[in-house]
Structure 1
Amino acid sequence: MTFEILFVLLALLGMVIALVLDKMRPGMVLFSVVVLFLCAGILTPKEMLEGFSNKGMITVAMLFLVSEGIRQSGALGQVIKKLLPQGKTTVFKAQFRMLPTIAFISAFLNNTPVVVIFAPIIKRWAESVKLPATKFLIPLSYVTILGGICTLIGTSTNLVVHGMILEAGYEGFTMFELGKVGIFVAIAGILYLFAFSSRLLPDVRTDAVKLEEEPEEHGDLHRVEAVLGARFPGINKKLGDFNFKRHYGAEVKEIKRSGQSIVGNLENEYLREGDTLVVMADDSFVKTWGESSVFVLLANGKDTEPVPGKGKRWFALALLILMIVGATVGELPVVKEAFPEIKLDMFFFVSITTIIMAWTKIFPARKYTKYISWDILITIACAFAISKAMVNSGVADAVARFIIGM
């Protein structure tokens, strides 16, 4: 075993440990490893930066904007409201109506906006029909993952591997090629959720604190749940030192973290990314901070999603359908022969769709950087560099020989 192989293996082991311990954002952890490889001479500066210009990574970035355009059009919110049964129903009947449709939607959109839109709507609906929301929220998260493995654009991982195949000089995936396996995996996963989610998921959150039963302080305050994002300025600070009330005009009553509820001695609790703060705030809180990047999600028991006109909703859906159909048809041999100088792939059509959505104000063009998950893009770009380091050091060949030997 050469020094380079040993160095790369140890660095990868350290990377996995750092990711498990959640010491930093994933993008920074991977970038740190890439810099180590640069210092050791395993990567050149050009090889280190090649991932940032990869077509797959840029496609992922633009798909974030397309997903945001669909979200802001209000189309998804209207779809889920029509799917949810009104009146008396059962957990199975409700799941049967919503889960396959959500999986289908997630096959063509990024998972995050799908969950962000649907989760508060489903939670409010569950309360209105007297069903436990706990039976629906984890299945919601899982079916978005299952749907994402069915198409090329369903998840960023598919696009990353597609980009690596293209760079190696081979034909990449077609739009629905992954569905030959993914659809059957998704069906099996959804059937499992139907059969076991009601048995395995609790009827109520045993750690939940019924803050909604507390009297409102001035009559104009109500309960709001705020999920802290990566840009929240109080991350890794004590709640008492940060003074949430002075910054945001709301008082923290509870912190939810990793399935646990914290209500005592809140002033000495350190705030972490992904924490859910239960606060007492007035109506202006959601309006002021709903579009801010410091909170991933705000829920106050009311509809906060935009409700534009039908024209905008249908136009956004039409653009999405044209993008999918165009990328699918563009991979056909007859189309490739008709347009040999233009590659009518997903990158081509997502670029056009993004620009049209921006100029027609389906999403606010001035805030476009807010809707892109930069940590995911940096993680993807660094993954390309790490894979190059594995090739340069000989680790990739050793792993390939071992697998072929098996």
Structure 2
Amino acid sequence: MISLEILITYSVIFVMFLFLVMNWYSAEIVILSVVMILVWTGIISLSEAFVGFTNEATLTIAALFVIMTTIQKHPSFSKVTGLVFGGKQTLRGGLSRMMVVTAGVSGFMNNTPLVVLLTPIVKKWCKKHSIYPSKLLIPLSYAAIIGGMCTLIGTSTNLVVHTLMLKEGFTGFTVFELALIGVPIFVFALIYMTLLGHRLLPDYPGNYSDVKEYPQFFVEVQVNEDYPLVGKTIKEAGLRTLKRGYVMAILRQGECLFPVSSQQIIKKSDHLLFVGDTSCAEEINQFTGLTVEKIGYEFTYFGNDYKFVEAVVPQHSEFITNKIRDLNFRSKYDGVVVAVYRNGTRINEKIGTIRLKAGDMLYILTSDNSSLPMRASGNLILLTNHSSSKGVSLRDWIPVTVFGLMITCVALGVLQITQAAITTVILFLLLRFTTFEEAKDSIKWEVLFIIGGAFGIAEALINSGAAEHVANSLLFGFGNSGPIALLVMAYLITNLLTELITNNAAAVIVFPIIMTIVNEFSFNPEPFAVAIAIASSASFATPIGYQTNLLVYSSGQYRFSDFLKIGLPLNIVCFITSIIMIPLFWPLT
């Protein structure tokens, strides 16, 4: 008979899955709420609920965020981007070179900022060689994901599973141990993408940033002498409530007023610049004294003080479900949204009325000294060129050298990964390569909250007996099928949950269930931990299963079906490779 504690745990976790799949709230809010419900119901204590916030995985991941942000902002790191394509000029040559370089770098840094860094470089190369960006952006994401599988620090999931193993009294992973599976998977993925995958990839232009190809964004309007509302504000003139556009900027006697508030006074001979299309122009023509001069304003007249920025709404953004007009872009971020793309298609509605969803691509006009990158951090991921004209000095190489020494010490067993990472951060602070404020801002707190909360949920599964109950149910169907069948089951369950929720939460939830069965049959736990680590990162079939997929989903103008068509075969390749290779390196019994 199922106990009340098990029923409560099942119910709470089911509701958690529902909220995460439906994306009603951000993942960290859902998971932390679930943890507190489990505390209130007495399933776990307060100390058990937050044990995940002080374990090695959480501390190490926090330190690695600081380390990689410090390295990325130095000129020495920007030189790596020049290696992405080298002198390659063909699709196959560029694809293979890009995947190799991306996977290699991704093994040592967080893959999300890497994809953010490389996306504009890939698109620039594609434009130069007349190749559709959609042929390369999905492979870019896949290479970053697989590269992260290969090392202990390549992805947060590997560190989470490593910590779970240590908690159970097992050895844990060495720095390059998972490369025994990750490298073969990458080789097969490279062969698949260069021989077949690129043929399945669609031909989408991906040219958001080419303003001249999108003249429907802008309408230029002149204020004539007979306009009756000269001297009134934009709001009083009724220009803030248009159905198909809004005033973005005013050109006045050679000066550009940008961004424009609703209280801006309209003067004679002003040139009003609206975000809109032909339907916006038709609406403006109904006003006496306003003349539509052109549709498709040349922004070269703005000079070099303004720029266009592509930004993706990530899964955990507070902007999700909000209307753009409620976000106060002009006042908070010194910029205006001129277009929104979803599922590869521009949303032809008034910008302010659009409710944002995860994966939306925003096309933003902003000034060079805008506060957008700082203030919107965490809610938007900016896809901009990261270049530096600064020369590389000897001092610039010190952070890279210190990081290399950290990896070496951990690989040789001189230091534990957590000890080495935190020591590296302290050295960066003492040597003034970063400040405490910069270090604090570089940490992705939502990721830490998800990981810390997931450990609390794992404690609830164990305390309530739910993990044992699920394990016994699986054992009933599992019977005496052998360790290979359990390995397959561990991989498939983890991989399915990864596509539905988050990879870290999937790993933490599946781990205690599988380990209960492993202990029952006295199997070797290590190969099953490897399967969970690999499966929780192997998210290729949907754009929502992994952050890098969501980034290229928007930037490449992909459809959801494109990921299924390209990623599902790769999921199968990854599964088969793992099930064959894992027993070769880690005995199952």
Same fold per TM (> 0.5)? yes
Give 1:298's aligned residue. Answer: 382
Structure with the higher helix share, 1 or 2? 1
CA 1:293–1:224 in structure 2 vs 1: closer, same or farther (change >3 Å)?
closer
Q: CA deviation at 1:43?
A: 0.5
Give 2:84's aligned residue. Answer: 83
Give 1:219's aligned residue. Answer: 302
Bigger drift between 225-234 and 163-172 goes to 225-234
Q: Which amino acid aligns with 2:406?
A: M
CA 1:43–1:97 in structure 2 vs 1: closer, same or farther (change >3 Å)?
same
Match of 1:328 among 394, 408, 411: 411
Q: CA deviation at 1:76?
A: 3.9
CA 1:360–1:126 in structure 2 vs 1: closer, same or farther (change >3 Å)?
farther
CA 1:6–1:180 in structure 2 vs 1: closer, same or farther (change >3 Å)?
same
Query: 1:258-269 maps to which residues of 2 (within 5 A)?
Result: 258-269=343-354
CA 1:81–1:206 in structure 2 vs 1: closer, same or farther (change >3 Å)?
closer
Give the conservation status (yes or no) of the 8 Å contact 2:340–2:361. yes
Q: Which amino acid aligns with 2:123?
A: K
Distance in 2 between residues matched to 1:182 and 1:83, nearest whole Å = 20
Distance in 2 between residues matched to 1:397 and 1:209, nearest whole Å = 53
Distance in 1 between residues matched to 2:137 and 2:89, nearest whole Å = 17
Match of 2:368 among 283, 288, 305: 283
Query: 1:136-215 maps to which residues of 2 (within 5 A)?
Result: 136-205=136-205, 211-213=211-213, 214=215, 215=297
Q: CA deviation at 1:245?
A: 3.2
CA 1:53–1:65 in structure 2 vs 1: closer, same or farther (change >3 Å)?
same
Q: CA deviation at 1:165?
A: 1.5
Bigger drift between 354-363 and 200-209 goes to 200-209
Give 1:8's aligned residue. Answer: 9
Q: CA deviation at 1:71?
A: 0.9
Q: CA deviation at 1:66?
A: 1.0
CA 1:291–1:55 in structure 2 vs 1: closer, same or farther (change >3 Å)?
same
Bigger relative contact order, structure 1 or 2 (CA pairs below 8 A, ≥6 apart): 1
Secondary structure in 2 matching 1:284: coil
Give the conservation status (yes or no) of the 8 Å contact 1:250–1:281. yes
Q: Which amino acid aligns with 1:350?
A: A
Q: Which amino acid aligns with 1:35?
A: M
Give the conservation status (yes or no) of the 8 Å contact 1:207–1:260. no
Query: 1:2-401 maps to which residues of 2 (within 5 A)?
Result: 2-86=3-87, 89-205=89-205, 211-213=211-213, 214=215, 215-217=297-299, 218-220=301-303, 221-228=306-313, 236-272=321-357, 274-285=359-370, 288-294=371-377, 296-299=380-383, 303-304=386-387, 307=390, 309-330=392-413, 344-401=415-472
Q: CA deviation at 1:319?
A: 1.7
- Per-residue displacement from partner, 1:110-160 (whole Å, max 9, x unpaired)? 112211211122222222232222122111111111011111111111111
CA 1:200–1:359 in structure 2 vs 1: closer, same or farther (change >3 Å)?
farther
Q: CA deviation at 1:241?
A: 4.0
Q: CA deviation at 1:316?
A: 2.4
CA 1:242–1:156 in structure 2 vs 1: closer, same or farther (change >3 Å)?
closer
Tell me the TM-score normalised to structure 2 length.
Answer: 0.61
Distance in 2 between residues matched to 1:150 and 1:263, nearest whole Å = 43
Paired-residue identity, %: 32
Distance in 1 between residues matched to 2:56 and 2:342, nearest whole Å = 37
Give the conservation status (yes or no) of the 8 Å contact 2:337–2:363. yes
Secondary structure in 2 matching 1:43: coil
- Per-residue displacement from partner, 1:371-394 (whole Å, max 9, x unpaired)? 111111011111111111111111
Q: Which amino acid aligns with 2:339?
A: E
Distance in 1 between residues matched to 2:144 and 2:315, nearest whole Å = 22
Q: Which amino acid aligns with 2:402?
A: L
Secondary structure in 2 matching 1:120: helix
Distance in 1 between residues matched to 2:22 and 2:389, nearest whole Å = 37
Q: CA deviation at 1:209?
A: 9.0
What is the Cα-based RMSD across aligned positions, in Å?
A: 2.7
Q: CA deviation at 1:399?
A: 3.0
Bigger drift between 70-79 and 202-211 goes to 202-211
Q: CA deviation at 1:236?
A: 3.7
Give the conservation status (yes or no) of the 8 Å contact 2:74–2:396. yes
In structure 1, runs of 5+ residues without a counterpart are 336-343
Q: Which amino acid aligns with 2:436?
A: A
Distance in 2 between residues matched to 1:209 and 1:314, nearest whole Å = 33
Give 1:338's aligned residue. Answer: none
Give the conservation status (yes or no) of the 8 Å contact 1:134–1:204. yes
Tell me the TM-score normalised to structure 1 length.
Answer: 0.87
Bigger drift between 128-137 and 355-364 goes to 355-364
Give the conservation status (yes or no) of the 8 Å contact 1:228–1:275. yes
Give the conservation status (yes or no) of the 8 Å contact 2:75–2:391. yes
In structure 2, runs of 5+ residues without a counterpart are 216-296, 482-589
CA 1:55–1:308 in structure 2 vs 1: closer, same or farther (change >3 Å)?
farther
Q: CA deviation at 1:106?
A: 0.8
Q: CA deviation at 1:186?
A: 2.4
Bigger drift between 1-10 and 154-163 goes to 1-10
